[in-house]
Amino acid sequence: MSTRNETGQRDPAACACLNLRKTARVVTQAYDAHLRPTGLRATQFSLLATLAPRQPVGVTQLAEKLVMDRTTLTRNLRPLEKRGLIRMAAGADSRVHEISLTEEGRAALQAAIPYWENAQNSIAERLAEPRLDRLLTDLAAAREVFRPGYRHG
Protein backbone atom coordinates (compact mmCIF):
# COMPACT_ATOMS: atom_id res chain seq x y z
CA MET A 1 0.00 0.00 0.00
CA SER A 2 1.45 3.31 -1.08
CA THR A 3 0.09 6.77 -0.39
CA ARG A 4 0.59 7.71 -4.04
CA ASN A 5 -0.87 6.14 -7.17
CA GLU A 6 0.83 5.23 -10.44
CA THR A 7 1.06 8.84 -11.58
CA GLY A 8 2.52 10.14 -8.34
CA GLN A 9 -0.75 11.73 -7.23
CA ARG A 10 -2.19 11.25 -3.79
CA ASP A 11 -4.63 8.34 -3.91
CA PRO A 12 -7.88 8.77 -1.92
CA ALA A 13 -7.97 4.98 -1.50
CA ALA A 14 -4.82 5.37 0.59
CA CYS A 15 -6.53 7.93 2.85
CA ALA A 16 -5.15 7.49 6.37
CA CYS A 17 -8.53 8.41 7.84
CA LEU A 18 -10.49 5.97 5.69
CA ASN A 19 -8.09 3.11 6.39
CA LEU A 20 -8.13 3.80 10.12
CA ARG A 21 -11.91 3.88 10.18
CA LYS A 22 -12.26 0.72 8.09
CA THR A 23 -9.92 -1.12 10.43
CA ALA A 24 -11.62 0.28 13.51
CA ARG A 25 -14.95 -0.99 12.19
CA VAL A 26 -13.67 -4.50 11.54
CA VAL A 27 -11.78 -4.79 14.81
CA THR A 28 -14.59 -3.28 16.88
CA GLN A 29 -17.05 -5.78 15.43
CA ALA A 30 -14.71 -8.62 16.37
CA TYR A 31 -14.17 -7.36 19.92
CA ASP A 32 -17.89 -6.73 20.32
CA ALA A 33 -18.57 -10.31 19.23
CA HIS A 34 -16.09 -11.70 21.78
CA LEU A 35 -17.59 -9.50 24.51
CA ARG A 36 -21.22 -10.25 23.61
CA PRO A 37 -21.74 -12.73 26.50
CA THR A 38 -20.67 -10.04 28.99
CA GLY A 39 -23.25 -7.47 27.89
CA LEU A 40 -20.48 -4.91 27.34
CA ARG A 41 -19.47 -3.29 24.06
CA ALA A 42 -15.78 -2.82 23.31
CA THR A 43 -16.09 0.92 23.95
CA GLN A 44 -17.76 0.29 27.30
CA PHE A 45 -15.16 -2.27 28.33
CA SER A 46 -12.36 0.17 27.54
CA LEU A 47 -14.15 2.94 29.39
CA LEU A 48 -14.49 0.83 32.54
CA ALA A 49 -10.90 -0.46 32.25
CA THR A 50 -9.57 3.08 31.87
CA LEU A 51 -11.70 4.30 34.76
CA ALA A 52 -10.78 1.50 37.20
CA PRO A 53 -7.25 2.59 38.17
CA ARG A 54 -8.18 6.31 38.31
CA GLN A 55 -11.39 6.57 40.27
CA PRO A 56 -12.80 8.86 41.22
CA VAL A 57 -12.10 11.01 38.20
CA GLY A 58 -13.86 13.95 36.54
CA VAL A 59 -15.43 13.87 33.09
CA THR A 60 -12.86 16.10 31.40
CA GLN A 61 -9.90 14.21 32.84
CA LEU A 62 -11.25 10.79 31.85
CA ALA A 63 -12.15 12.08 28.39
CA GLU A 64 -8.56 13.23 27.90
CA LYS A 65 -7.24 9.82 28.89
CA LEU A 66 -9.59 8.19 26.39
CA VAL A 67 -8.69 10.73 23.69
CA MET A 68 -12.42 11.28 23.42
CA ASP A 69 -14.45 14.46 23.15
CA ARG A 70 -15.79 15.44 26.54
CA THR A 71 -19.38 15.54 25.34
CA THR A 72 -19.00 12.11 23.75
CA LEU A 73 -17.91 10.70 27.09
CA THR A 74 -20.90 12.33 28.79
CA ARG A 75 -23.18 10.47 26.41
CA ASN A 76 -21.24 7.18 26.69
CA LEU A 77 -21.53 7.27 30.49
CA ARG A 78 -25.33 7.25 30.36
CA PRO A 79 -25.99 3.56 29.56
CA LEU A 80 -23.37 2.48 32.11
CA GLU A 81 -24.92 4.63 34.81
CA LYS A 82 -28.41 3.42 33.93
CA ARG A 83 -27.19 -0.17 34.35
CA GLY A 84 -25.61 0.69 37.69
CA LEU A 85 -22.01 -0.03 36.65
CA ILE A 86 -20.78 3.47 37.44
CA ARG A 87 -21.80 6.24 39.80
CA MET A 88 -21.43 10.01 39.57
CA ALA A 89 -21.07 12.32 42.55
CA ALA A 90 -20.17 15.97 43.13
CA GLY A 91 -16.54 16.54 44.08
CA ALA A 92 -15.04 19.05 46.53
CA ASP A 93 -15.08 21.43 43.58
CA SER A 94 -18.80 21.22 42.96
CA ARG A 95 -18.33 21.72 39.23
CA VAL A 96 -16.54 18.39 38.98
CA HIS A 97 -18.71 15.32 38.54
CA GLU A 98 -16.61 12.49 39.92
CA ILE A 99 -17.04 9.11 38.23
CA SER A 100 -16.50 5.85 40.11
CA LEU A 101 -17.12 2.17 39.52
CA THR A 102 -19.89 0.60 41.57
CA GLU A 103 -19.47 -2.87 43.01
CA GLU A 104 -21.45 -4.20 40.05
CA GLY A 105 -19.17 -2.27 37.74
CA ARG A 106 -16.04 -3.80 39.25
CA ALA A 107 -17.57 -7.26 38.96
CA ALA A 108 -18.67 -6.70 35.35
CA LEU A 109 -15.19 -5.52 34.40
CA GLN A 110 -13.51 -8.48 36.09
CA ALA A 111 -15.91 -10.91 34.47
CA ALA A 112 -15.28 -9.38 31.04
CA ILE A 113 -11.50 -9.52 31.15
CA PRO A 114 -11.15 -13.15 29.96
CA TYR A 115 -13.42 -12.41 26.99
CA TRP A 116 -11.39 -9.32 26.14
CA GLU A 117 -8.19 -11.39 26.42
CA ASN A 118 -9.58 -13.84 23.89
CA ALA A 119 -10.22 -10.99 21.47
CA GLN A 120 -6.76 -9.49 22.04
CA ASN A 121 -5.13 -12.92 21.69
CA SER A 122 -6.92 -13.55 18.41
CA ILE A 123 -5.35 -10.50 16.81
CA ALA A 124 -2.00 -10.71 18.62
CA GLU A 125 -1.43 -14.30 17.57
CA ARG A 126 -2.63 -14.01 14.01
CA LEU A 127 -0.88 -10.72 13.33
CA ALA A 128 2.35 -12.00 14.91
CA GLU A 129 3.00 -10.26 18.18
CA PRO A 130 5.92 -8.02 17.16
CA ARG A 131 3.78 -6.64 14.39
CA LEU A 132 0.95 -5.74 16.77
CA ASP A 133 3.42 -3.93 19.01
CA ARG A 134 4.66 -2.02 15.99
CA LEU A 135 1.12 -1.18 14.93
CA LEU A 136 0.27 0.17 18.37
CA THR A 137 3.45 2.25 18.37
CA ASP A 138 2.68 3.65 14.93
CA LEU A 139 -0.89 4.45 15.99
CA ALA A 140 0.45 6.39 18.97
CA ALA A 141 2.80 8.25 16.63
CA ALA A 142 -0.13 9.13 14.37
CA ARG A 143 -2.02 10.55 17.34
CA GLU A 144 1.08 12.48 18.33
CA VAL A 145 1.03 14.21 14.93
CA PHE A 146 -2.31 15.82 15.70
CA ARG A 147 -2.09 16.01 19.49
CA PRO A 148 1.52 16.88 20.23
CA GLY A 149 2.62 16.66 23.83
CA TYR A 150 -0.04 14.27 25.04
CA ARG A 151 1.19 11.05 26.62
CA HIS A 152 0.05 8.62 23.95
CA GLY A 153 0.45 5.03 25.20
Partner DNA sequence: GCAATATAAGTGTATATACACCTTAAGACA
Partner DNA sequence: TGTCTTAAGGTGTATATACACTTATATTGC
21 binds DNA (CB under 7 A): yes
CB closer to DNA out of 4 and 78: 78
Q: How far is CA 128 from the centre of its chain?
A: 22
Residues 6+ apart with CB under 8 A from 88: 77, 81, 97, 98, 99, 100
3-state secondary structure 7-70: CCCECHHHCHHHHHHHHHHHHHHHHHHHHHHHCCCHHHHHHHHHHHHHCCECHHHHHHHCCCCH
Question: Which of 82, 145, 149, 151 touches a copy of itself by CB under 8 A?
Answer: 145
Question: Which of 2, 6, 93, 148 touches DNA by CB under 7 A?
Answer: 93
Helix (H, G, I), strand (E, B) or coil at 98: strand
Write the binding mask 91 to 130 for a copy of itself: x where contact by CB under 8 A, - elsewhere.
----------------------x--xx-xxxxxx-xx-x-
71 binds DNA (CB under 7 A): yes
Query: Rounded to the nearest whole angstrom, what is the least distance from the CB of residue 42 to DNA in the complex?
Result: 7
Contacts with DNA by CB under 7 A lie at 21, 25-26, 28-29, 32-33, 41, 43-44, 58-61, 68-72, 74-76, 78-79, 82, 88, 93-98
